[in-house]
């Protein structure tokens, strides 16, 4: 039980940053330099400060892009979000 809790504490920055876009860098820093206190603190700060991954959406078929709000609408002539002509 002690070994499990120490391992979870060691990889806490990687666990916190698992859905961040910089996860690979956070994990490598945590793995290689986490045994030093400074490396672990830097990995923890990076994991807390990194931005979330943005989802990527794909629309099949012809779609129009609104330059005002960024909405993609398949086959429409007006944006359903801001009502601007496309």
Q: Is the pTM of this model over 0.85?
A: no
Integer angstrom CA distances of residue 26 from 21, 56, 80: 10, 22, 39
Closest to 15 in 3D by CA, of 34, 38, 37 = 34
Task: Tell me the per-residue pLDDT of 28-68, one tens digit each, with 9 for 90 and over.
Answer: 999 999 999 999 999 999 999 987 777 776 666 677 778 78
Closest to 26 in 3D by CA, of 45, 52, 54 = 45
Distance between CA atoms of 30 and 52, rounded to whole angstroms?
A: 19
Contact 86, 54 (CB under 8 A): no
Task: Name the token pair of 48.
Answer: 């807390």
Instruction: Return mean pLDDT, the chain.
Output: 85
Domain residue extents for the chain: 2-49, 56-86
């Amino acid at each position: 039980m002690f070994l499990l809790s120490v391992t979870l504490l060691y990889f806490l920055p990687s666990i916190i940053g698992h859905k961040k876009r910089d996860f690979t860098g956070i994990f490598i820093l945590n793995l290689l330099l986490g045994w030093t206190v400074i490396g672990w603190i830097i990995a923890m700060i990076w994991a807390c400060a990194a931005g979330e991954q943005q989802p990527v959406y794909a629309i099949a078929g012809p779609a129009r892009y609104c330059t005002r709000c960024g909405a993609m609408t398949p086959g429409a002539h007006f944006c359903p979000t801001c009502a601007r002509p496309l």
